[in-house]
Chains A and B, each alone.
Chain A
Amino acid sequence: MKSYIEPEFIVERDQDKCIRCKVCVNQCTYDTHYYDSEDDIVCSHDENCVNCHRCVVFCPTRAINIKRNPTQYTENQNWSREVITAVKNQAETGGIILTGMGCDKPYYTYWDRILLNASQVTNPSIDPLREPMEIRTFLGCKPDKLDLELESNDLVLMTKLAPQLRVETPILFSALSYGAVSFNVHQALARAATEYGTFMNTGEGGLDRRLYKYGDHVIVQVASGRFGVSPDYLNVGAAIEIKIGQGAKPGIGGHLPGEKVTEDISRTRMIPTGTDALSPAPQHDIYSIEDLRQLIYALKEETDYTKPVSVKIAAVHNSAAIASGMVRAGADIIALDGVRGATGAAPRIIRDNVGVPIELALASVDQRLREEGIRNKASILVAGGIKNSGDVVKAIALGADAVYIGTAALVAMGCTVCQKCHTGKCPWGIATPDPWISKRVNPDIATRRLVNLLSGWSHEIKEMMGGMGINAIESLRGNRLMLRGVGLTETELKVLGIKMAGD
């Protein structure tokens, strides 16, 4: 049937500037640009353009501009362009509309309504460039007290600490599955994590053997599809993460479209090429909280209790109670993924409507664990749209031990958040398994970019801490007196556990 859907974007090419180098034609993976040799002119199929800016950035003469299609439906707050197009799409296909990346709707981002304190007079601020400023963090289960005994005039430590992850900065790379992203991306994440002293997370697609050598800086994930979960895999990482859900699509399983299941993916995930790699919605051996405990200890037994076990959930309505259960089930780390968490592919309706903002979930989980006296038993990691170091500082002040960044890491490597990851055609070489196109991510350069990002954010974190008169991150963690809200209702302030600015 004829499609009634109009192009979202229009390609504008300045023909005076265009030198017919055809870089745009070669770079575009969506067949948007083509060269008409007869007329010696480069033209575009506007309807294919996804606004990824690959051509814009690489055009040597900056001749290309991508614009929103100026032809708009009549203004309507309820029936927006997105909504109308979705209905027409479903009328034409009868299917679920897929998308990539994280929720883009104008729901409140609470980070932007929270402000930080600084020291004035009663307490000196500290200069991180010249005085010590410590952001080293340990993730894992901590005891409530240490037992020391006196043995022949010497104090001996009797307590044995559960395994910990040591991070030199409270920023880790979030789960990005191999398949959703290319091998070069996984490699860059592993190398950058190793170089900076933090960790990357394999996501649910397993770990390519070529990256086993970075194992000490890898958190291996065990998701419902159990892709790539071999004994070697479990033992090579520094920690294991059980994925119950993720912020982009709480309650449903992972989704890797068949287009992205290539030979390498097939080998690592142990599924046939070209088939859709679907992860089941639940982990089929976890139907209740005691089952979670069972899986956690199965993994601990497999690894001889040498690695922390993390459990990742999407932030949903009863996160506090669920987290409490998870801690009591033996999780060493709780990972919370908020509604803005990103993904390689998810139904758009779920991405945008299911889940809660991470700020609120974090605040209630941290508070609940303290009320129950079990906050020491697990570290809290948060994810879901963390976009700058200000968000990181605010997250830690609310109670997180560290944050996971996903989208930010991809943007650092070139991603422009065009939300078309599910097509597998990412022209930046990031969200594609195509061996030719994924070469566009140069692992050396990508590693550099990621390390730069971590470095820039870490310096900024230190500046903000110093401004508050704090020189060790343990004094920021959970210190909600350092936060104030603006433009928030009383209930929001109450849930966040912070006061209003000026109060």
Chain B
Amino acid sequence: MNTITTLNNPYGEDKVIDACGLFGMMDLTGRRFGSKAPVKAISNMHERGNGLGGGFAVYGLYPQHKDDYAFHIMYLNRESKERADRLLAQSFDVLHAEEMPVNLAANVWNPPMIWRYFLQPKNIAENQSHDEYVVRNVMRINTDTCGAFVFSSGKNMGVFKGVGFPEDIAEYFCLGEYEGYLWVCHGRFPTNTPGWWGGAHPFNILDWTVVHNGELSSYGINRRYLEMYGYNCTMQTDTEVMAYALDLLMRKQKLPMEVVARIMAPPLWIEIDNMEPKEKHLCTMLRQCYSSLLMNGPFTIIAAHNGEMIGLTDRIKLRPLTAGIKGSMLYLSSEEASIHLVSPHLDKVWSPRGGEPVIGRLKTLKTVEVLTPGVRK
């Protein structure tokens, strides 16, 4: 994976630092909608990016292929595509493969070749997890092909990202032609990887996507802890570490998001010491056992996977996040103005507390204000 690391972190810095704007929008009934509102909202936060990265994750994207793994792969050269195609053919039934339809007139910078595949694992043992199989193969392609990068690999969803303002990326990938029930958008302000399309957000593993604003001062230990569980942190970004942490805690260890939030953004000891015994015991145990996954430093993330959109900030809320509801629509945004722009008459708009997640689940809305009873209007 040297190519990926060298590309994403050309100066060999401890990690990649960037600043960002985030937006997420979900219809909790599962009704699919188009790109107009998400794109409008993220481009309104122009000031938070600098045109050197934009990206989208769309869920409910491929209903005709909803049980197939949809791979989006970017190729830096022809040879890497040949290698990747060989690896794919070995491990998967390739049900469909095509070059990603794009609009070449869009104002984006030096786009790589991008292909899209719909796959099913083959030669896989009875009790072997399909998801694990896919993760391993994605890592293989990203390591062994010297130039192919799988940047989306979930079912019925897809990531579109690259170097350009978000609205230009949306135009490039013809997002106007797609619909989904959950859109996550990101505009980036990178400090050291101007040219590479893979560096934009969201970061993806299976159907998990994470967009992130801020910087983890605990990155050094978060990464070492995840490496102990077999995660190869080649992108060397905070977003990658966040996504792998969510994958480890939620997919592998099956912990609910309410608990995961208390691992990544735990309450302070002065709060824990004053909790009810049961709550106190749980929070103390979580801090004792998962201490290396405490995410320190300022962060706001919007994470999504099939059926759920999650917004979370760090425990002392050093980065902004606003949530809004209108009917069955849930909005999450770095700046409140963008929500009003696309939905002028909100039922409710508020700022979640530091460390308390806002979780939109298909068919329900769950707003978790666990530690503090007073809820806004």
Contacts and interface: CB of A to CB of B under 8 A. Distances in A.
Do A and B touch directly, given a CB cutoff of 8 Å in the complex? yes
B269 A134 contact: yes
Nearest to A161: B285
Interface stretch (B28-36, B89-97, B105-113, B292-300): B292-300
A123 interface: yes
B294 A472 contact: yes
B228 A370 contact: yes
A475 B221 contact: yes
Interface residues of B, number: 42
Given A145-B289, A481-B14, A469 B297 contact: yes
Contact of B296 (A143, A376, A472): A472
A478 interface: yes
Contacts of B294: 472, 474-475
Contacts of A119: 217
Contacts of B297: 123, 469-470, 475
A478 B292 contact: yes
Contacts of B218: 470, 474-476, 479
Contacts, number: 107
A146 interface: yes
A145 B288 contact: no
A481 B222 CA distance: 11
Interface string B108-128: 000000000000000000000
Nearest to A139: B288
A219 B22 CA distance: 50
Given A146-B285, A475-B294, A481 B227 contact: no
A471 interface: yes
A287 B229 CA distance: 33
Most chain A CB within 10 A, of B259, B285, B296, is at B296
A159 B15 CA distance: 35
A157 interface: yes
B139 interface: no
A164 interface: yes
B275 to A, nearest CB: 14
A479 B221 contact: yes
B287 interface: yes
B220 interface: yes
A473 to B, nearest CB: 8
B316 interface: yes
A373 interface: yes
11 contacts: A119-B217, A122-B191, A132-B268, A155-B259, A157-B282, A373-B228, A375-B228, A475-B296, A476-B221, A477-B221, A479-B224
Interface of A: 119, 122-124, 131-132, 134, 136, 138, 142-143, 145-146, 148, 155, 157, 159, 161, 164, 370-371, 373, 375-376, 468-472, 474-482, 499, 503
Interface of B: 12, 14-15, 17, 191, 215, 217-221, 224-225, 227-229, 253, 255-256, 258-259, 266, 268-270, 281-282, 285-292, 294, 296-298, 315-316, 318
